[in-house]
Amino acid sequence: MRYTDSLARSAEHLRAALPLMTRQRAALHPVSYAVWYEFVSARNLALHQAVLTHTRDGATLDEAQTWALYQDHIGSQLTSLDAATAQKVGDGLARVLDTMAASAAEAGQETARFDNSLNTWVEQLLGDPNQQTQADVLQELLSGSREIRGAVGALQSQLSQSQHEIEALRQEVRHARNEALVDALTGLSNRRAFDQALSTCLANSAHKPDDPKAAASTAPCLVLGDIDFFKRINDSFGHGFGDQVLRAVAQTLKTVAANDIITARIGGEEFALLLPRSSLDQAEGLAEKMRSTVAKGRIRRGEQAQEQQNVTISFGVTQLAPGESANDFLNRADRALYASKHQGRNRVTVLTSDSNDAQEPVKLRA
């Protein structure tokens, strides 16, 4: 299922969504509720941002805007790949079930025939207990046993084959699901996977004890990175080399990050790293290590060894505050990244939840 909220949590979202729905110009239908449910639950960051944009300065959503938001940010999440896979899996399961039903029916018919024959043989034995009759009945009984054993064996074989087919379908679903969450160019998680991971991470964090000491060491941290002057790279050397740069930076991030860190490409040249359990110093240290590793590297532009390009990346780092929404968490990391860009690029900026401005106070390392 797409929604995994508890009854209590979904009731909270309902109470928050209804007042917002009633202020709009759209009718109060399921599509409208789906939009506002996802908005208040902060599970869909792209939709959240789009709604904020549409309702800026007191504007309200009309019917067309509501349906467009649903199609773009909710309905569109069933991709063509998902639909094709769902159809294929559905057809496969129907085929397996039909085959199993046919095999079970055949085995049932064999069992019924054997039962009828058994009754007849018992009557023959009771009616004519001479040795020849007994021998004939035993021969028929042996033959019938072989037939029923063959039918049961065929059913067992078909059930085993069906299990293999079902497992193959499961593997295909897993593969399609993984592909739908992976950025094809870099091999990192894509924006959809990142949004899901962030939503899950914040939900898990909300259930942890409110222990300030524990929060300092286990609260989620977010690192946003953006390749410096990427447009200039594309304009100067072409989009082919730009793709090469994206793959090289992604590989560096993947190599430096630990296994429990979600590493994603969330925009053209923008990357995100979600650290589910980390101190702010650890997150800053990781960002600094990534920044310096990328800055030291050289990416070859042609066949000649001297044709190499230096690439740098800027980072913004922050840590989740107690009770904070995903949107505020992401926005603060984005402000930290903007500060790195504004103050010269190729640096790491740490912005804490008690900082009111992206410029001061911040912690800079170049």
Range of the domain at 55: 7-77
Select which of 269, 303, 307, 324 is catalytic: 269
272 plus 307 within the same structural domain: yes
**Number of domains into which the chain is organized:** 3
| Residue 89 within a domain | yes
Is 29 within a domain? yes
Mean pLDDT confidence for 265-287: 93
**Minimal CA–CA distance to 288: which of 362, 349, 343?**
349
Q: What is the pLDDT of residue 29?
A: 81
Say if residue 213 is in the same domain as residue 331.
yes
Q: Residue 226 forms beta bridges with which residues?
A: 270, 314
Q: Write down which residue in 28, 50, 77 finishes a domain.
A: 77
> Based on the domain organization, do 176 and 195 belong to the same domain?
no
Write down the pLDDT at residue 111. Answer: 67
CA 11 vs CA 14, 43, 289: distances in Å: 5, 15, 44
Is 294's pLDDT higher than 90?
yes
Per-residue pLDDT for 359 more than 50? Answer: no
Shared domain for 259 and 304, answered yes or no, is yes
Shared domain for 206 and 270, answered yes or no, is yes
Whether residues 36 and 66 fall in one domain: yes
Last residue of a domain, one of 77, 111, 138: 77
Q: Are 358 and 339 in contact (CB under 8 A)?
A: yes
Q: In the sheet where 313-319 sits, what is the strand order? A: 262-265, 270-275, 221-227, 313-319, 348-350, 363-365
In a domain, 186, yes or no: no
Statement to judge: residues 43 and 64 lie in one domain: yes
Q: Are residues 217 and 280 in the same domain?
A: yes
Same domain, 49 and 62: yes
Phi, psi (5° rounding) for residue 216? -65, -25
Flag whether 197 is in a domain: yes
Q: Are residues 255 and 166 in the same domain?
A: no
Domain stops at, among 77, 103, 119: 77
Lookup: tokens for 20:
């917002």
The answer on pLDDT for 162 being more than 90 is no
- The CATH number that applies at residue 290 is 3.30.70.270
Locate 71 and state its tokens: 């199609």
**Between residues 319 and 267, the one the model is more confident about:** 319
Neighbours of 200 (CB within 10 A): 15
User: What is the pLDDT at residue 14?
Assistant: 82
Confidence of residue 360 (pLDDT cuts 50, 70, 90): very low
User: In terms of domains, do 120 and 26 share one?
Assistant: no
Does any domain span residue 309? yes
Query: Is there a contact between 74 and 47 (Cβ–Cβ < 8 Å)?
Result: yes
Average pLDDT over residues 186-205: 88
Whether residue 349 is contained in a domain is answered as yes
Phi, psi angle pair for 299, to nearest 5°: -110, 120
Residue-wise pLDDT tens digits, 312-349: 999 999 999 988 888 899 999 999 999 999 999 999 99
Q: Establish whether 324 is a catalytic residue.
A: no
Instruction: State how far the Cα of 64 lies from the Cα of 37, in Å rounded to an integer.
Output: 18
Same domain, 221 and 136: no
- Checking if the pLDDT of 36 tops 80, the result is yes
CB 151: neighbour CB atoms within 10 A?
A: 19
Side-chain-side CA neighbours of residue 14 (13 Å): 8
